[in-house]
A = this chain, B = another copy of it.
Amino acid sequence: MTTPEAPGKVGSRREYTGRVINLDIDQVRFPNGKVGDLEIIRHSGASAIIPFLGDPSGDDPQILLIRQYRYAADGFIYEIPAGRLEPGEPPVECAVRELREETGCTAEKMEHLYTMYTTPGFTDEKIHLFVATGLVRGESALEADEFVEVVPMQMSAALKMIKDGTITDAKTALSILYVAGFFLGR
């Protein structure tokens, strides 16, 4: 229930319909009561997974990163496995699917860690982060436009790659720092 003066949507116009994103120009009532236009990129949301090889409570556990070509980042970058939600797909199912597609692995356990807005100034995209343990290796099944190399990495090395700027992807750095701080109890 909202009062007429509550901030929020007044109107919406679809400006562009795309493959990955849509662009809307919404009429928005702001907290001061004024109404103005705002550009907003609509995104279906995504799941991302930090997969542990072996025992995550070990001394320096190993995770799987992927290295893939990202045009927007002008080259190959390190990331954790991730992908977009299909229509109606629960985030945990997306996580299971993307982990299998990008690394070939299935996980005995897939735990939700955290959900974040990637950049709430201009998009409603949310990423749901999961931690995958008890990995069993299989065959990967990449989509035609994905170019992905799977790279096992010690946690200590991954943390170093954040500190020295080798890892530049926000969801990847956040996940690694999150599990180092909370999940692994350090």
> Which residues of A in the span 1-50 have a Cβ within 8 Å of any Cβ on B?
7-9, 15-16, 18-21, 23, 26, 28, 30-32, 36, 38-41, 43, 46
The copy count of this chain in the complex is 2
Contact of A20 among B69, B117, B122 (CB under 8 A): B122
A186 → chain B closest CB, angstroms: 9
Question: Is the CB–CB distance between A116 and B173 below 8 Å?
Answer: yes
Chain A interface SS verdict (over half) = mixed
**Chain B residues closer than 8 Å to A23, beta-carbon distance:** 16, 23
Q: How far is the CA of A142 from the CA of B173 in the complex (A)?
A: 31
Contact, CB under 8 Å: B123 / A119:
yes
- Nearest residue in B to A46 (C-beta to C-beta)? B121
Total number of A residues with any Cβ neighbor in B under 8 Å? 61
**Chain A residues near B (Cβ < 8 Å):** 7-9, 15-16, 18-21, 23, 26, 28, 30-32, 36, 38-41, 43, 46, 69-74, 77, 79, 84, 114-125, 127, 145, 147, 159, 162-163, 165, 168-171, 173-174, 177-178, 180-182
